[in-house]
Structure 1
Amino acid sequence: MNDHLKEQLDGLLEKYTELLIGEASPELKEKVEAWALYSFIAKSMPPLAKHWNDTYPDAKEEMKTLIAEIKKLNEEMRSKKK
């Protein structure tokens, strides 16, 4: 992947993070990136996600916490817009 595409994807991720949770700090972008990747894999290849969850139960719990955090931030952002 070339640097230009990386920069453009980073911009896409930044805007997505901002629209999803209201701000786009580097830490939040990293969390949204992990959430998006895991969500996509879980929907497109559920057996792979299940295998990962079974293999790394500690990571599964951390991912559940991350998903809950992003959901909470999204709900807070939506309630501020109303």
Structure 2
Amino acid sequence: MENSFIDQFDGLLEKYTELLIGEATPEQVEKIKVWALYNQMHKTMPNLTQHWTAMHPEAKAAVRALFEEVKQLNEAHRAKGSKQES
């Protein structure tokens, strides 16, 4: 892939992260990248992710923790946004 596309896509991912959870540090962007990819894989190929989590129970716990963290960050960001609108 071309470097310009990768740079543009990284910018898109950074903006998505910012809009989703309110900040886009490199660590947060990486978390959202993993979260989004796993979420898509689980929706389109649930048997694959079920097999993987059965083979890697420690990774299953990490994925659950990541999903919970993203959910909490998103809820906090939305609550902060709705307070500012009031």
Q: Normalising by structure 2, what TM-score?
A: 0.93
Runs (4+) off by over 2 Å: none
Q: Give the paired residue count.
A: 82
Q: Which runs of 5+ in 1 are unaligned?
A: none
Q: Does 1:45 align with 2:25?
A: no
Q: Which runs of 5+ in 2 are unaligned?
A: none
1:60-71 equivalences in 2 (<5 Å): 60-71=60-71
Cα RMSD (Å): 0.5
CA deviation string 1:12-36 (max 9, x = no partner): 1000000000010000000000000
CA deviation string 1:15-65 (max 9, x = no partner): 000000001000000000000000000000000110111111101100100
- Structure 2 distance, partners of 1:19, 1:75, is 12
1:1-80 equivalences in 2 (<5 Å): 1-80=1-80
- Structure 1 distance, partners of 2:42, 2:78, is 25
- Structure 1 distance, partners of 2:65, 2:18, is 20
Percent identical pairs in the alignment equals 51
1:67 maps to a residue whose letter is: F
Q: Normalising by structure 1, what TM-score?
A: 0.97
Q: CA deviation at 1:77?
A: 0.3
